[in-house]
Structure 1
């Protein structure tokens, strides 16, 4: 096996090993929460949806790339390339928009009761299923080029200079204009939520700063008055806001690199003959899907508590079976 294939396979394997169990654990935790409480809060439903699409990103793209790199299985024929690239691009863009939705919803949650933004927050929670449907339809339509233009690398005899090499597949555009238009749509699809996310994170950071100053003021006055302190709900709000800011920061860094490499791919023709840039793009964009469940598990107490309970239940059951 060539060293390049081995390195590629190990990189994708590392994403698979981290991303698949991580996202699966988040999904299981929220399903347990749903089973116990019979409902999910809107923010929890968004995180659950985010974990599902991130699992698609890692499972469909990284796992299949790992198997193909180690020559264990290869589904990258013409039909396989169309299906894998379409599902990957749709789930990847959904991951981006759901992260924005989570940050926007968290920002709206700090609005004063009775204000316009508070009513928008309530409306988003009430119509969340329709928001999910809209995002699925939008991102599915924007990823349709993958079905039309993706072919296997076995068809390299019919390639043009407007094709993009994705190692096991090519995205073969009919013209330079269609190639650049599709690239502009993909960049815009990422940059718009990135800018909105940055704005929401800035709002959350200002809120956290003001909240910390307010708590310090209460503590200093409490020393003189013999009491005072923050409530549990305020602490929960802070933890949720910090988790969202961490997810958005992770997104901006990784997808910023991803989009920079994508612009480079569109502007440099020689990238058609090499899949290195494409491998780097897929790695960085999939890295968010693999690492985001780590942030969620580390910061979300609901996920932590359900996973601990599930682990303890499995251990107790194993102990009981061993004593029989």
Structure 2
């Protein structure tokens, strides 16, 4: 095993070690919340859905890439390459769009009561299931090229042109035009929600700034104390802004590398560039649950309860054994 392949495997392993337990913990916390309260708020349902697709990104792509890089098993053939790339692209794009939906919904949540934006929030909450279904159908259809053009490395790579080398698999397009069209569609699919979620986050920041000035004004006029409600909404808004910032940075690098590959004159893209793209896009799926756990009090409290219950059970079993 070459040192380059070993380093590659260790990098993907680091994403797997952080991302799989992190997203699993978030999912478990929300399932406990659902079991205890018999319902989830719309924002919680969006975050739960986001954690599920991020778990797919890390579990399907990074875990299998780790196994293949460290030569633990031979798992990449034509069928497995098509399945892995298809699931990865679908879940990756869903992660992007769900982050946008979360930022847009949070933007509606901080709107003044009685406004038309508050009415729009109620409509989104009512039809959130249809929003999820629509995103799944659209992103599944847009990832269908992976089923048609992906195959394993056992093919004769010298005959490949207009392809993308992803180390253990190849994505081979029939022409340069089809490769560029597919690339433009993927960039558009990422840039549109990126732009929209950035605008939503800016609106959230503007609201938080104005709200802070109002609170200072109330405190100065009333001689201190006072304050206004909505602390939970403000914390949630700050969490969404942090999540969007992480997304914009990491996926901005990812899409910059993708645009660079489309401008290359060579017909076969280097596996190094593809590895970097996969790493940066998977890094969001691995790090976002850490932000969720640190920022979301519901998730944090449920996880603490689980840890405390486990510690009590271990202490009880230890006393029984004695």
TM range (shorter): over 0.9
**Corresponding residue SS for 1:191:** helix
Judged with a 3 Å threshold, the aligned counterparts in structure 2 of structure 1 residues 123 and 48 are, in CA distance, closer, same or farther, namely same
- Kept in 1, the 8 Å contact 2:160–2:268? The answer is no
- Kept in 1, the 8 Å contact 2:261–2:269? The answer is no
1:148 alignment counterpart: 148
1:76 to partner: Cα distance: 0.9
* Structure 1 residue ranges, 4+ long, deviating more than 3 angstroms after superposition: none
- Kept in 1, the 8 Å contact 2:15–2:282? The answer is yes
1:157 to partner: Cα distance: 4.2
1:188 alignment counterpart: 188
Gaps of 5+ in 1: none
1:257 alignment counterpart: 253
1:248 alignment counterpart: 244
**CA–CA separation in structure 2 for the residues paired with 1:269 and 1:78:** 27
1:90 to partner: Cα distance: 0.2
**CA–CA separation in structure 2 for the residues paired with 1:219 and 1:303:** 32
2:12 alignment counterpart: 12
Q: TM-score w.r.t. structure 2 length?
A: 0.97
1:267 to partner: Cα distance: 1.4
**CA–CA separation in structure 1 for the residues paired with 2:73 and 2:265:** 31
2:318 alignment counterpart: 322
Gaps of 5+ in 2: none
Deviates more, 1:213-222 or 1:3-12: 213-222
**Corresponding residue SS for 1:103:** helix
- Kept in 2, the 8 Å contact 1:18–1:291? The answer is yes
1:32 alignment counterpart: 32
1:136 alignment counterpart: 136
Structure 1 position 292 matched with structure 2 position 288: yes
Q: 2:275 aligns with which of 273, 279, 286?
A: 279
1:212 to partner: Cα distance: 1.1
2:56 alignment counterpart: 56
**CA–CA separation in structure 2 for the residues paired with 1:239 and 1:149:** 45
1:75 to partner: Cα distance: 1.6
**CA–CA separation in structure 2 for the residues paired with 1:165 and 1:157:** 9
- Kept in 2, the 8 Å contact 1:90–1:139? The answer is yes
**CA–CA separation in structure 1 for the residues paired with 2:20 and 2:13:** 10
**CA–CA separation in structure 1 for the residues paired with 2:122 and 2:165:** 45
1:198 alignment counterpart: 198
2:222 alignment counterpart: 222
**CA–CA separation in structure 1 for the residues paired with 2:156 and 2:255:** 26
**Over aligned residue pairs, what C-alpha RMSD do you find?**
1.2
- Kept in 1, the 8 Å contact 2:96–2:190? The answer is yes
Structure 1 position 302 matched with structure 2 position 298: yes
Kindly report which structure 2 residues correspond to 1:42-191, keeping only aligned pairs within 5 A, or say none. Answer: 42-157=42-157, 159-191=159-191
Aligned length in residues: 320
1:223 to partner: Cα distance: 1.7
- Kept in 2, the 8 Å contact 1:271–1:277? The answer is no
Deviates more, 1:251-260 or 1:206-215: 206-215
1:236 to partner: Cα distance: 0.8
1:94 to partner: Cα distance: 0.2
Deviates more, 1:259-268 or 1:142-151: 259-268
1:273 to partner: Cα distance: 5.6
1:158 to partner: Cα distance: 6.4
- Kept in 1, the 8 Å contact 2:34–2:40? The answer is yes
- Kept in 2, the 8 Å contact 1:222–1:229? The answer is no
